[in-house]
Amino acid sequence: MIEDKDLDIQEETPPPESVIPAEAGTDPTEPASRYPFHNTEWRSEDCKLRNEGLPEEERDWFADARPQPARTSNQIMEKFFNWCRAHSLWILAFGTGCGAIELRPLVTSRYDISRLGMQMRPTPRQASVFVIGGYVSIKTLKRIVRSYEQMQGPKFVVAVCSCAINGGMYWDSYNTIKRIDEYIPVDVYVTGCMPRPEAVMAGFTKLKELIMAGKAEGQNLYAEKFDWYKANQKQVIKDWNMPDYNW
Amino acid sequence: MSLTLRLVWAFISLGVVTVWGLTLTGIVAKIFARVQGRLGPPVWQPFIDIIKNNAKRTAITHGVMFFLGPVFRIAGGIGTYMFIPVLFGNIYFSNFSMSGDLLLVMYFIFFGQLGMALGAGEGGHPYSAIAVARGLAQMTAFEVPFALSVISIAIQYGSLNIIDIVAAQQGGFLTWTLFTNPLAVIAAMIAMLGMNMHNPFSLVIAPNEIPMGPPTEYQANYLGLLATNRGIFNGAKLVLFMNLFFGGATNIPVLMAKTFGIYMFSVFVGAAFPRFRAEDSIRFFLKYPTLIGIVAVVIWTI
């Protein structure tokens, strides 16, 4: 029997532009320009990405364009497409934390997510759901950002475990971020440490509902608030040696 | 029949075989799941996946050849299908079988894979390169018993025209190649295990080893195109084998029953065996099936 407390799932509202990351540790009365996430030196005046983390000779290899919010089709088609997207969720099979261990039982005969049209996909290019499995160290965040940007939209993020929501037991760790939704947009949170596979599946069910209702537009949110997300990422990832946007 | 009308009917039959090929893929996924004690995805899952992939809002390309890879692949699939008569004695479902023979069909089976190899190579992912090398090596190996089998039945029926071969098998199941030339059929059916790329010959996609293989970098519409081709190519291969070895079909229900039966052979083998390594797979094809194929040719030459 699944207890209600195991299925405590929250629907995440997009963070407003004015939210200040707790890590910033700055006085809110200071001028906004002094906050690191208002630092936009990494892009030029016409919003082209400079890719300054890369060696000079490699910059040409990567695109300097920012992601643009995608246009949706007309309403009836979009509803149909959303139904298809919800019934064909391909999960990126990257274990980004200890919570990823709860994903393995989902593909076994006991839970069998394939009956819901879901399957594991080994490459971010083909996946549509990114499951953040627990605590995110800064080293992992770099890979998460890279993989998330390589996924083709519409893409969805499910954050599993307490650590991805508020840092959990790593809340005062020097190398672990606290809220994953300051770095990539999150659609559904599944709380628990660890949440049972049933809770993770309930999270996916919630995600399906959001997709079918047309509310899971994390891709567009990321494109619209690209500066905010990028500044947050650059604030914690000190050794930024990758393109500013990974096409 | 005018050329325009033939084209229209060819594309109608292409639609039929695509739907049937994809449904078969869905049925097979269900069967594999039941063997593993799972419920498995719904039978229509391949269709939903294709629609979802085509409805992706973004897609990236790595260059011209990357773009052309899936196009060559689907051209190979459609090309294979277009020169195979689907229903014997039915003018609407004969496609363009009078314009080309068995050798052209064999060429088209190769063509798509080569195009895909070039496209996947430009993707630049190491898994793609490994899988392409494996795929081409294995394909070369299983083409040997298949070609020997084709040579054997070409000698037997004195023709490379698929319609002639089907016509010679009419009049009861004992006239099927399966009973008149069993060695050629055995060699070809083993070659088909390699073509269908289920276990033990799942080297190319190789889940858990080089996940996805050639299409690792393919996404969105490209992947949709590749998945559609999987339906067409599956259907085309099964219809070809049905025509060559199992007496062809004169109506759609017989076609569905026979192709389903032929496909189930590779599914049963796939569900029961683990995967070969690349060198073992190639050695296997060049050993027993090739020997059986040579015997089949020698018997009919004498």
Average pLDDT per consecutive 10 residues, chain A (247 residues; last block may be shorter) = 45 47 45 50 71 82 82 82 92 84 88 90 90 89 91 90 87 88 91 89 93 89 88 87 84
Q: A4 CB contacts (<8 Å, ≥6 apart)?
A: none
Does residue B92 register a pLDDT over 60? yes
C-alpha distances (whole Å) from B154 to each of A89, B83, B177, B234, B286 are 48, 17, 11, 23, 21
Q: Which of B254, B250, B259 is nearest to B163 (CA)?
A: B250
Q: Which of B141, B184, B138 is nearest to B165 (CA)?
A: B184
pLDDT digit string, tens, across residues B40-80: 899 999 999 999 999 888 888 888 888 888 888 898 889 88
The Cα–Cα gap between A88 and A95 comes to 20
Separation in Å, CA of B242 to nearest CA in chain A = 32
Residues 6+ apart with CB under 8 A from A241: A53, A54
* Of B190 and A8, the one with more pLDDT: B190
**With 90 as the cut, is the pLDDT of residue B162 above it?**
no
For residue A53, the 8-state DSSP code is T
The pLDDT of residue B199 is above 50: yes
The mean per-residue pLDDT over the stretch B188-211 comes to 84
Share of chain B above pLDDT 70, in %: 99
- Chain A residues whose CB is inside 8 A of the B52 CB are 81, 84-85, 87-88, 128
Pairs across A and B, CB distance < 8 A: 83
Which three-class secondary structure state does DSSP give residue A17?
coil
Rounded Cα–Cα distance for residues A147 and B47 (Å): 27
The pLDDT tens digits of the residues spanning B249-275 come to 888 899 999 999 999 998 999 888 888
Option in A87, A128, A247 nearest B48 (CB)? A87
* B40–A115 CB contact, under 8 Å: yes
Residue among B299, B282, B268 at smallest CA distance from B144: B282
Q: Are A158 and A130 in contact (CB under 8 A)?
A: yes
Which of A152-161, A223-232, B88-97, B169-178 has the weakest average pLDDT?
A: B88-97
Please tell me the distance from the alpha carbon of residue B41 to that of residue B35, in angstroms, as a whole number: 13
Q: What is the pLDDT of residue B298?
A: 92
Q: Over the range A210-223, which residues count as b (16 or more CB within 10 Å of their CB) and which as e?
A: bbbeeebbbbbbbb
Model pLDDT, residue A38: 55
Tell me: ipTM over 0.90: no
pLDDT for residue B99: 65
Q: What confidence score (pLDDT) does residue A2 get?
A: 43
Task: Give the pLDDT score at A7.
Answer: 45
Name the residue among A81, A123, A247 with its Cβ closest to that of B211.
A123
Supply φ then ψ for residue A158, to 5 degrees: -115, 120
Helix or strand holding residue A207 (H, E): helix A197-212
A92 CB neighbours in chain B (<8 A) are none
Residue of B230, B188, B180 lying closest to B102 (CA atoms): B188
Judging contacts by C-beta atoms under 8 Å, the chain B residues touching residue A85 are: 52, 55
CA distance B217 to chain A (A): 6
Do A125 and B51 make contact, defined as CB atoms within 8 angstroms? no
How far apart CA A152 and CA A137 sit, in angstroms, is 24
Residues of B in contact with A70 (CB under 8 A): 57-58
CA B14/CA B7 separation, integer angstroms: 10
- Min CA distance, A151 vs chain B (Å)? 9
Residue A29: the pLDDT is 46
- All residues of chain A having their beta carbon less than 8 Å from the beta carbon of residue B48 are 84, 87-88, 117
Nearest by CB to A152, from B36, B37, B220: name it: B220
- What would the two tokens of residue B272 be? 């029961």
pLDDT on residue B123: 82
Residues in chain A: 247
Asked whether the beta carbons of A21 and A232 are under 8 A apart, the reply is yes
Q: Closest chain A residue to B26 measured between Cα atoms?
A: A117
Query: A9 and A206 in contact (C-beta within 8 Å)?
Result: yes
Peptide bond into A194 cis (omega under 30): yes
What does the mean pLDDT of chain B come to? 88
**Which token pair is B58?**
């973004």
- Report the distance separating Cα A151 and Cα B223, nearest Å: 13
* Closest alpha carbon within chain A to B39: A115
pLDDT in tens, B99-141: 668 888 888 888 888 888 888 888 888 888 888 888 888 888 9
